[in-house]
Structures are given as C-alpha cells and as structure tokens.
C-alpha cells in the first residue's frame, strides 16, 4: 500500500495528466491548426516590415489645408515691370558680362526696413561697415574682385597666397587702402556738414562709428590682408580676422541681389559663397539652423526678409536637370536644378542643390538617354533663400522663389494600393497554404514518431516490479 503523507489525495493536483493521443484525428487537427497559425504569424511579421503595407494609414490623415485661390499671388510679370517701373530684367536667362559700375558717393546708412525673422537689427557700425565695403566693391574691377575673393578663401583655409596672385595682391592692397581713406574722409565731411539734419548727439555717435571703423582697418583688417603672401600660411589670428571680413562682405553682397530678375553677373560671388558654405556643412546642422518651414506665399511676398536665411520647404519634385557650373574658384562642378511643387500651392519653387539623395532617380542618366527627367517624388529641402527669380514659362515670364541647398531629404513613396505589384499574387498564397499544410503534417508526423516508439523500463522500474512480485 503506498504511503500518503499529509492526507494527500491520490487524484489531486500532483497527479500527472495522461499525454494526448497524437494518433487521434482531433489532436492532429489541432496540431495542424497550430502549425498554420505559427506560419501565418511569421508571414505577417515579414509583411509588416514593408512600408508599402501601411500606405492606407496616410489616407486617414487630414489633408493639408490649401491656400485660398484669392490669397495666392499672381506670379506673372505685369506690364509695370515690363515698362521698367519694376526691377525685371529683360535680358536673357543666362549669365552675361558685367557692366562696370563706378563708385557711388558715400552716405550715412539708414536703418533697415526689413529684418529677417528672428534676426536682430544691424548696429550702426555694421550698417556703416556694409556701406563702406559696398563703395570699395563698386570701385574694383572684375579681376580685382576675383583676386580679393581668392585671397580671402586661401587665408580662411589657412593656405598661402597663390604665387600667381602676389603682384596683383600687392596692387589690390594699395587700392583698398586708398579707397578706405577716401571713404572715411568723405564720411567725416558728410557728418560735419550743416545740412545733414543730425543733432549734436547723433553727429557725435556717427563720428564714433567712423573712428571705430578707421581703427579697425588700421590695426586689424589691413595688417591681416597685408600678411597674406606665397611664402607661408597665415596665422590663426590672421585667419580669424579674414573670416570676419568675409562675413561682412557676404552681408554686403546679399544686398546686391535684385528680385524679379534673371541671374545677374553681380550676384555670382554671393551665389558661389552660399554654395561653398552648403558644401562643407552637415545636413543635420543645416536643418537645426533653419528658421523653420515656410510656404510659397511667405517666400514670394517677403523676399527681403528671408534673403540669405536658411529655410525649409516641403513639396513634390516634378522636374530636374543637371547644370554645369561656370568656372569658379570654389571648385563647384555643377548642381541640380529641381522644380518643386510646394504644399498647398500650384506655382513651383526652384531649388539648386549640390547633391541628390542616394537611390533617388538618376537625373543625369535620364538626360544622357535623351529623356526628360520628370519626377513625382516628395521632398523636404533646407537651403538658403536667394531671390524671387524671373523665368520663362509657357504663358510668358513668371516669378518664383529660388533656393540653394545641399541635398534634399527624400523618402521613397510607397506603392499605391491599386498597383497589382504591391499585392502578392496567386502563387504567393498557394505557396503559403502549401507551406502551412506541410508544416502541420510534419509536426504531426514527428510527434507520432516519438510517441509510437516502444519504451523499455528502466532498471529502477524493473527492480521495483521484481521486488513487488517477490513480496
């Protein structure tokens, strides 16, 4: 008689249930169902990884509110612009030779009327400095401007002045020094004049600004420029001064950009300067420095406020071309011209970008094959707003915002649900059902093989049986 410790019942929780009969049809059907469910779960996990399976979620989102038609600007160039009352350039839509412009007389710079969003009002010194360099820039020839920009770039990069520019650089330094002295003398005469309308306090303040510019030129800028030579690279101190000077020149050149025009020769230097800055910066840094997402209407109606500012636009790329860049000292071989239809607007925005994202349609290959690179790709672009640009459309001349960017952000659009290629074919479902059946049959066969094998009693069990018979 077996011992029963603690009045434990023989048929309590401790008793093991007998194993299922794997030979019965009901158990085999359950195993087949479990195997099919396991295979189905694995299949669903594989399909859930594909982005095109989730495109229906976008249909549940609220569509972007469109701008009322009466609020959209008319981008056609009006008769006033054609008569010359505006600033529309009737010349060809290409770079043309610059016209030599003589220096304009110095004047007291006025306060800014349009300040970019989030940007502080320029100080009196900054406005006077920009005005002074504008006078200097206008007094230089095209070759002298190239020598100045090339020397500044070498200095900013910590490299010696090119040997071929040594003589031209020395002549340029003499011309700049003489030009600064003329500007400062004329500015002091303008301040001390009786018809300026300045109060004594204002006259004293402007005198202080002119004196500060004079001291800065004598002790910082002129020595740094003179220190550039082919024999040795500039010091860190000289590089710092040259970077600050380049920033001042960029601010001055941004004010030479004219809206409602084609590309103008005077805009060449700031065009490539912005591209140079984009080329060396990280895309994530550019997005962090952006003033935010803007629309077509904002850029079109407020070009002065956004000029030279990093902005972000969203839209659909409709057309793209590759363009070889004119010869430049920044080593930029070319760029992609992308026509983007912005969100909630029909008029395009033109973006010149240095690169296109990986896996993006190969625009250059399409052009080599004689195809028109028509696109339908959603993009997000962060770049510098350049100008309100004039271009020739089918119905005449129109205006559009123009941006310079490094590379757009692009995500491949999932295939639409109506596309037969986005859904598995009959062969796929037949293979799935066959695999489910084979998996279930295989599991049932394995279980049957393991449970139908005869088992030998262990030595301990044999001893117990023999002991019981002996007793």
- CB burial string 22-45: b at 16+ within 10 A, e below: beeeebbeebbeebbeebeeeeee
Q: Is residue 195 one of the residues assigned to a domain?
A: yes
Q: Is residue 325 one of the residues assigned to a domain?
A: yes
Q: Would you say residue 222 has pLDDT above 80?
A: yes
Range in 15-19, 82-86, 222-226 with the lowest mean pLDDT? 82-86
State the total domains in the chain.
2
The answer on 287 and 247 residing in a single domain is no
The answer on 296 and 247 residing in a single domain is no
Q: Is residue 262 one of the residues assigned to a domain?
A: no
Q: Is residue 292 one of the residues assigned to a domain?
A: yes
Would you state the structure tokens that stand for residue 357, as one six-digit string? Answer: 């994202």
* Residues 406, 404: Cα–Cα separation, whole Å: 7
The answer on 287 and 243 residing in a single domain is no
Contacts of 279 (CB under 8 A, 6+ apart): 330, 332, 354, 406
Quote the mean pLDDT of the chain: 80
Domain-ending residue, one of 388, 410, 432: 410
Enclosing domain of residue 144: 98-111+118-257
Q: Is residue 17 one of the residues assigned to a domain?
A: no
The answer on 124 and 239 residing in a single domain is yes
Question: Using one digit for the tens of pLDDT, what is the confidence trace for 406-428?
Answer: 999 998 876 555 544 555 666 66
Work out the burial of residue 134: count CB atoms within 10 Å of its CB; fewer than 13 is exposed, 13-18 middle, 19 or more buried: buried
* Residues 313, 293: Cα–Cα separation, whole Å: 6
The answer on 314 and 246 residing in a single domain is no
Helix axes 124-139, 166-192, angle to 10 degrees: 130
Q: Is residue 130 one of the residues assigned to a domain?
A: yes
Domain-ending residue, one of 257, 292, 312: 257
Question: Using one digit for the tens of pLDDT, what is the confidence trace for 211-221?
Answer: 999 999 999 99
The answer on 168 and 228 residing in a single domain is yes
The answer on 378 and 294 residing in a single domain is yes
The answer on 240 and 103 residing in a single domain is yes
The answer on 292 and 201 residing in a single domain is no
Domain-ending residue, one of 387, 410, 433: 410
13-40: average pLDDT: 72
The DSSP H or E segment spanning 429 is helix 426-452
Question: Using one digit for the tens of pLDDT, what is the confidence trace for 314-372?
Answer: 999 999 999 999 999 999 999 999 999 998 788 999 999 999 999 999 999 999 999 99
| pTM metric for this prediction | 0.70
Contacts of 264 (CB under 8 A, 6+ apart): 89, 257, 258
Q: Is residue 58 one of the residues assigned to a domain?
A: no
How many helices (H) and strands (E) in the chain?
16, 6
Contacts of 116 (CB under 8 A, 6+ apart): 291, 305, 306, 307, 308, 309
Question: Using one digit for the tens of pLDDT, what is the confidence trace for 90-101?
Answer: 333 333 333 333
Q: Which of 403, 397, 263, 272 is nearest to 331 (CA)?
A: 272
Q: Is residue 126 one of the residues assigned to a domain?
A: yes
The answer on 252 and 200 residing in a single domain is yes
Give the domain CATH number at 331.
Answer: 2.40.50
Helix axes 25-48, 426-452, angle to 10 degrees: 140
391-403: average pLDDT: 92
In this prediction, residue 125 carries a pLDDT of: 87
């Amino acid at each position: 008689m077996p011992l029963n410790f603690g009045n434990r019942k023989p048929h309590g929780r401790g008793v093991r249930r007998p194993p299922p009969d794997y030979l019965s049809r009901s158990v085999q059907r359950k195993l087949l169902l479990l195997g099919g469910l396991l295979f189905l779960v694995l299949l669903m996990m594989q399909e859930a990884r594909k982005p095109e399976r989730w495109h229906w979620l976008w249909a549940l989102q609220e569509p972007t509110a469109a701008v009322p038609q009466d609020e959209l600007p008319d981008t056609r160039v009006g008769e006033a612009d054609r008569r010359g009352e505006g600033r529309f350039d009737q010349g060809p839509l290409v770079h043309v030779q610059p016209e030599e412009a003589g220096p304009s007389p110095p004047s007291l710079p006025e306060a800014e009327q349009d300040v970019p969003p989030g940007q502080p009002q320029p100080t009196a010194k900054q406005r006077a400095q920009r005005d002074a360099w504008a006078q200097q820039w206008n007094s230089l020839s095209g070759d002298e401007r190239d020598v100045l920009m090339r020397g500044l770039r070498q200095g900013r990069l910590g490299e010696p002045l090119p040997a071929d520019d040594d003589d031209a650089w020395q002549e340029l330094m003499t011309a700049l020094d003489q030009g600064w002295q003329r500007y400062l003398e004329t500015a002091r005469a303008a301040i001390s004049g009786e018809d300026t309308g300045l109060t004594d306090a204002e006259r004293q303040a402007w005198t202080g600004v002119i004196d500060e510019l004079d001291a800065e030129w004598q002790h910082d800028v002129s020595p740094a420029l003179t220190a550039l030579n082919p024999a040795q690279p500039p010091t860190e101190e000289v590089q710092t001064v040259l970077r600050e000077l380049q920033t001042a020149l960029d601010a001055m050149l941004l004010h030479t950009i004219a809206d409602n025009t084609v590309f103008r020769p005077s805009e060449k230097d700031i065009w490539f300067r912005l591209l140079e800055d984009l080329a060396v910066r990280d895309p994530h840094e550019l997005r962090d420095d952006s003033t935010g997402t803007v629309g077509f209407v904002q850029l079109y109606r407020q070009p002065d406020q956004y000029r030279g500012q990093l902005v972000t636009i969203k839209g659909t790329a409709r057309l793209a071309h590759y363009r070889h860049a004119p010869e430049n000292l920044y080593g930029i071989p070319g760029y992609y011209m992308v026509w983007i239809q912005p969100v909630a607007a029909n008029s395009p925005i033109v973006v010149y970008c240095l690169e296109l994202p990986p896996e993006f349609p190969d625009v250059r290959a399409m052009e080599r094959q004689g195809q028109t690179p028509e696109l339908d790709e959603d993009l997000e672009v962060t770049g510098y707003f350049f100008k309100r640009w004039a271009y020739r459309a089918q119905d005449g001349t129109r205006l559009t915002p123009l941006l310079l960017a490094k590379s757009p952000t692009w995500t491949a659009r999932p295939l639409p649900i109506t596309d037969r290629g986005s859904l598995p074919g009959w062969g796929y479902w037949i293979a799935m059902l066959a695999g489910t059946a084979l998996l279930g049959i295989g599991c049932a066969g394995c279980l049957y093989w393991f449970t139908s094998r005869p088992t030998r009693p262990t030595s301990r069990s044999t001893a117990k049986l023999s002991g019981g018979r002996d007793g």
